[in-house]
Every structure is written in structure tokens, then in C-alpha cells.
Amino acid sequence: MEHIHSLLAVSGSLLNASATNTTLVSDCSWPPLTRFVLTNITGVGVQCWAKLALLGAVIELCRRTLNVLWRWLLDLPWITITFSEEDVAYSWILCWLSQHPSWQHARTAQITTRNYGLQPSRTWCQQAFGGDGDGDQPTSYIPSLYKVHYLWYRYHCIRVSRSRSSESSMSHPIETLEIQILALSRTILDTLLSDAKKSYKDAKASMVSVYTANEYYEWVFVAAQPKRSLSTVILDPGVKEEVLSDVVEFNRSGQWYADRGIPFRRGYLLYGPPGSGKTTLIRSIAGELGLDICIITLSKAGLDDDKLQSLISRMPDKCIALMEDIDVAFRHERNQRLLSGDTNLKHGDLSTTTSALSAMPTSGVSLSGLLNVLDGVALQDGRLLFATTNNYGALDPAICRPGRMDVHIKFHNASKYQAGEIFKAFFSSPSSASAGPVEESGNSLTTAGAVDGDGLYAKEVTPLLNVESSPPAGQEVKNGPPIGITVPHSVACELARRFSEAIPEREVSVAALQGYLMAYKTRPFDAVRDAPAWISELRGQKGQGESPVEASGDQGSPSTASGVTPEAPVARADQ
Ligand SMILES: Nc1ncnc2c1ncn2[C@@H]1O[C@H](COP(=O)(O)OP(=O)(O)OP(=O)(O)O)[C@@H](O)[C@H]1O
């Protein structure tokens, strides 16, 4: 309308000018050349131009109005809704779309290996192609970019279009998905949304989503990992149960914290040698509580205090914040303070020389920046924060104090108990806890090796072998030999006892035991027989009497300031 007004104003002034034309031109005070120009530009020609311009403007106005009206009429029966990639609802709808059967007939679609939290078997293409099952990347179909797709949903036509904003130096391109439903009532939209949410939740029921920060310091989904049952985490009796009950209790204490004005957040510090199960425990607690995991890498290039604060404050809901190897980011800072004779640092040794300091990677995050984060300044209420370290002694006491790291959990190399339990986890068949029928299995339980070896097991364990061995429950033997075998519970217990006798207390990590047993997946007897030789080999590698695995790293005694007892595997810093 503004255009039309200005056009009318211009043409009006031109017409006025032409009305006064005679007066202007006949004014003899003008020089001859000026009078000539005035005569030509204010003559009848201008009037015609003005009329033409007016007509053109009116026609353009009508055309545009009709166009808008037509589009409005076309869009009238469509309910339109837009999803942005930055929102979790985007994953719901893409997950739902990837399961829609219409893709079986689609002639244009995009294939993605990103599963949007789906279990691979849930996508129709996997069903159609017989699933992968061989470790291939799961794939699913989603709408192609910049194409319009039509599909049917509960007797309604749905129009789907996916687009991506252009990339700028400040932000990365963001995808949006527009869904239009041909319907008069909005009810169908609500149904669609709840269906999409439900299918996403169902698909995710057995998965833990993992998020990390991208180069723009935004949280991005990187993987959906299958939940790991807490029963598969082998720790000394009572440890994992105690941690889980602490987390559960915290989750329902919101009001208690609010009443006392205490920041509603809780920090857990898991420390101990590599491969002792720290990350594994966090992952299974996340699965147990239906939480996702946001991994914060403090040594990430470009990360500084502000970006860390902003990342922490924008963590997705229902997420555990996980800071792995929390000591690494500050090793440089700490060593410099030690070299400069800072007496506040009481525990831990200087881990490098002055010359090596300059070569160490530095973090843009300062200790005070991290302490602010741990204090919960930017943390949303109810946030669980887990940190892990192999080098407890290297941590600044300020990090470990109650209110920042409330619970300290010490991990060790494997005990004899853990060695026995991991053996059972590999080979025990829960279904055959009671003895099964007397029958020699196809792969002979690899008893040939055991019996033919040195005859040790032939005498002592053979009576236990009057039972059938089988692949682990639920594991189908498709092609070739089984991936692993299980033996009846009673046999497994006896072998586990012998295995644990061969494993020295606290010398080998659980991860190392797992690696050893992996090589004997189908040979439990050989695993027991060869264990002493394996241990001496490891000892030989590191020198007689020395730990065969990496030094535990927690040589520094735990901070007395935090009140942590070194012997207690789980210690609350706030007690
Ligand atoms: N206590 C345990 N129970 C069951 N599995 C374990 C245990 N400890 C280690 N593992 C196995 O060892 C592997 C490594 O474990 P994990 O990553 O949890 O160790 P970590 O203590 O976090 O090591 P790091 O300090 O190097 O990160 C995993 O595959 C896990 O299955």
C-alpha cells in the first residue's frame, strides 16, 4: 500500500506541474534554453506517462492481491507446523518419518546412517533388506532436502518438506522440516505429535543418547548406544548399588534442596586406574535412570570459560554431564603452579619438567571457570555431574571439595572376586543353572584342548562336563562357528573359582581381563589353564614384582581436605 500511495503522490504532483505548465513556460524571465526544456518535460507527454504509470501500478496491485488470495485459499485447508533441527522434536518427527511405510514406494528419498535414537531393526529398510546384524551401519530413509513429499497418515494427506538455512561464518546451517496436514481440525496434528513422540521414546527405550559440543559449541547428538545393564558392571559387592541409590535419592530430593536453599546439583568423582569401569558405570547408571549423556571435553580446542558456561546452561533435559579425565585440562596450569612453588598444592607430584611444560596442550578453560561450573552457577536444577580421572592426586583440592564433587568413588584394578565374576559373565549360561542333559556338544566345549593339554582338567573337571554347552542365550549361530559358548552355571562357577585363583589381587585391570577372555571366547578351559602363564608374561613385560598393567595413577593420597577415605570405595565428600 505504501508503494501505491507514493506512486499516486508522484503522479499527482506531475499533473499539478502540467496544469501550471502554461504559467511556467510563458514566464519570460526564464532563459530561452530553460524555457525549451520546461516546455518539453511538462507537456502532454508527461501526462500520458503519469497515467500509464498509474495504470501499471493498479494492475500490479491487483495481480499481487490475487496471488496472495490464491495462496491463502490453497493453504487454507492445510495445517502447517515447522520443526527445527536444534529442537529435540525434530528427532521425534524424523524418527517417526523414517518408520513410515510410504518410503517403500518413494521414488526420491535420502538415506541416512544417523538413526535418530532408533534401534536399527525398527527402520523399515532394515526390515526390507533383512537387517544388518553384521555390524554394518544402520540406515534409514528420510525426506530429501528441498523436495516435497506426500504421505498418508490416518486418512489425511501430509506434505513434508525439508530445507536447510544457508551457512554463515557465525553459525552452521540449520535444517528445518515443514509438515503440512490437509485437515480442518487441529486434533490430527496433536495425534501426529504424540505418535511421533511415542515412537521416538519407544525406539529409545533401550538406548542412551550421547551428545557432544560441535565446533559452534552447540550440543549435537552423536550416537545412541544400547543401554548397559548395571548387572554387567562388575565391581566389588555393594559399590554400584550404593552409587545408584545415591543418584536415585538425589533425583527425588528437589524440594528438600529448595527448602534449604542448597543448589540442586550433585557431583560424582570417579577415580582409579584405566580400564577399571568408571565410564562403564556412568553409562549404565544413565541407562538405568533413562538419562542421556553430554560429554564435556575440557581440553577441546577453542573452549573457554564463557563457552563452557554457555554449553552447560544449554544442556538438553534429562542428561548427565560427563567430564572425562578432568585432570588433563589443568595439568599444565597445576605444574606451572608447582614449579613456581605454590604451597597450596599439597598432593600429587610434579608430572613433568619445565621444558616439557611448553609442549603440553593447554585448555582455554581456567580453573576458576571450571569451579564456577561445578558450583552450579550455570547448571540447571537437578543436574547430575560425573567426572573421571586416572590421577586423583593431580586434581586441585578446590575441585574435590564438597558442593563440587560430593561423592568420590575409588576404582581399583580387578580383585579376585571381580576376576571370577567376569569369567562367569563370559561363560556362564543362566538358563542351565541346573544341570542339563548329558551330551557332547558340536564344538566339544573345546575340552579336547583342555584334556589333551596337560590332563589337569581331564581329571578334575570332566565330571562337570556331562552337560551341553551352547552359544550365549539369544545368540543365533548363522554362519560358521559360534562367536562364544556358555557352559552350565555349575561348571562356570568351578572354572571361575580356578580362574580367580590364578589372577593376583589388584594387579590387572578389569579391561585387561576382558581383553584376555575375549581371546578365549570359545575356550573357557584353556582360559583357566593359560591364566598363570599370561600373568607371568605380563609381569615379565613390566619387570618382576611390578604391576603388569599401567600404574594405577591414583598414587597421590586422596585429599584430606575433602575428607575422603582412601580405602572406602564410595565416600561422600559432604559427610
Ligand atoms: N568393572 C567393570 N565391569 C565390567 N566391565 C568393565 C569393568 N571395567 C572395565 N570394563 C570393561 O573395560 C572396558 C573399559 O572400561 P571403561 O572405559 O569403563 O574404563 P575406565 O575406567 O573408564 O577407563 P579410562 O580411565 O581409561 O577411561 C569396557 O569395555 C568395559 O566393558
Q: What are the structural domains of the chain?
A: 2-75 (no CATH), 78-205 (no CATH), 219-412 (3.40.50.300), 416-542 (no CATH)
CA of 295 to the centre of ligand 1 (A): 17
Q: 3-state class of 26 per DSSP?
A: helix
Q: Is 439 left (phi over 0), alpha (psi -120 to 50) or beta?
A: beta
Position 545 scores a pLDDT of 52
Averaged over 510-532, what is the pLDDT?
93
Residue 389 CA: nearest ligand 1 atom is 25
Tell me the pLDDT band of 323, cut-offs 50, 70 and 90. Answer: very high
Averaged over 85-96, what is the pLDDT?
83
State the Cα angle at 486 between 482 and 491, rounded to 5°. Answer: 150
Q: Residue 521 has which C-alpha cell? A: 571366547
* Ligand 1 contact via 511 beta carbon (within 6 Å): yes
Among 154-168, 331-345, 527-541, 548-562, the range with the most confident prediction by mean pLDDT is 527-541
Give the type of residue at 56.
G
Q: 3-state class of 84 per DSSP?
A: strand
pLDDT at 439 > cutoff 60: no
CA of 277 to the centre of ligand 1 (A): 3
Averaged over 414-442, what is the pLDDT?
70
CA of 210 to the centre of ligand 1 (A): 17
CA of 312 to the centre of ligand 1 (A): 26
Tell me the pLDDT band of 379, cut-offs 50, 70 and 90. Answer: confident
Distances (CA, A) of 50 to 4, 9, 38, 39, 53: 13, 11, 17, 16, 5
Residues contacting residue 396 through CB under 8 Å, at least 6 positions apart: 330, 334, 345, 367
* Ligand 1 contact via 413 beta carbon (within 6 Å): no
CA atoms within 13 A of residue 573's CA, in its CB half-sphere = 24
* Ligand 1 contact via 391 beta carbon (within 6 Å): no
Position 348 scores a pLDDT of 45
Share of the chain above pLDDT 90, in %: 30
Averaged over 425-444, what is the pLDDT?
52
Over residues 9-53, the pLDDT tens digits come to 555 554 455 555 555 555 567 778 777 777 666 666 777 888 899
Residue 511 CA: nearest ligand 1 atom is 12
- Residue 8 near residue 61 (C-beta atoms within 8 A): no
CA of 514 to the centre of ligand 1 (A): 9
Longest dimension (CA), the chain: 137
Higher pLDDT among residues 502 and 23, named by residue: 502
Residue 273 CA: nearest ligand 1 atom is 25
- Determine which helix (DSSP H) or strand (DSSP E) holds 6, and give its type and residue range: helix 2-19
ipTM score over 0.95, yes or no = yes
Position 322 scores a pLDDT of 95
Output DSSP code: residue 470.
B
Share of the chain above pLDDT 70, in %: 67
Over residues 445-459, the pLDDT tens digits come to 433 333 333 444 444
Averaged over 248-275, what is the pLDDT?
92
pLDDT at 180 > cutoff 60: yes
β-strand pairing of 407-410 with 428-429: unpaired
The residue whose C-alpha atom lies closest to atom 26 belonging to ligand 1 is 274
CA of 395 to the centre of ligand 1 (A): 21
Output DSSP code: residue 316.
P
CA of 549 to the centre of ligand 1 (A): 14
Residue 425 CA: nearest ligand 1 atom is 4
* Ligand 1 contact via 553 beta carbon (within 6 Å): no
Among 68-82, 148-162, 333-347, where is mean pLDDT lowest?
333-347
Q: Residue 315 has which C-alpha cell? A: 544442556
* Ligand 1 contact via 512 beta carbon (within 6 Å): no
The residue whose C-alpha atom lies closest to atom 25 belonging to ligand 1 is 274
Position 480 scores a pLDDT of 61
**Cα separation, 332 vs 361, whole angstroms:** 8
pLDDT at 400 > cutoff 70: yes
* Ligand 1 contact via 513 beta carbon (within 6 Å): no
Higher pLDDT among residues 441 and 380, named by residue: 380
- 343 alpha carbon, distance to own chain's centre: 40
Ligand 1: which of 232, 243, 269, 280 to mutate, most ligand atoms within 8 Å of CB? 280
Ligand 1: which of 279, 295, 411, 426 to mutate, most ligand atoms within 8 Å of CB? 279
Residues contacting residue 338 through CB under 8 Å, at least 6 positions apart: 345, 350
Tell me the pLDDT band of 137, cut-offs 50, 70 and 90. Answer: low
- Return phi, psi of residue 288, to 5°: -60, -35
The residue whose C-alpha atom lies closest to atom 12 belonging to ligand 1 is 511
- Residue 143 near residue 109 (C-beta atoms within 8 A): yes
Over residues 190-215, the pLDDT tens digits come to 999 999 998 888 877 888 889 998 88
Position 82 scores a pLDDT of 92
**Cα separation, 99 vs 122, whole angstroms:** 7
- DSSP string for residues in 116-173: TT--GGGSHHHHHTT---SSPPP-EEEPPBT-EEEEEETTEEEEEEEEEPPP-SSS--
Higher pLDDT among residues 483 and 351, named by residue: 483
Is pTM beyond 0.80? Reply is no
CA of 270 to the centre of ligand 1 (A): 12
pLDDT at 77 > cutoff 70: yes
**Contacts by 355-361, CB closer than 8 A, 24 or more apart:** 357/332, 360/331, 360/332, 360/335, 361/299, 361/332
pLDDT at 90 > cutoff 70: yes
Position 122 scores a pLDDT of 40
Position 20 scores a pLDDT of 52
* Ligand 1 contact via 233 beta carbon (within 6 Å): yes
Position 125 scores a pLDDT of 37
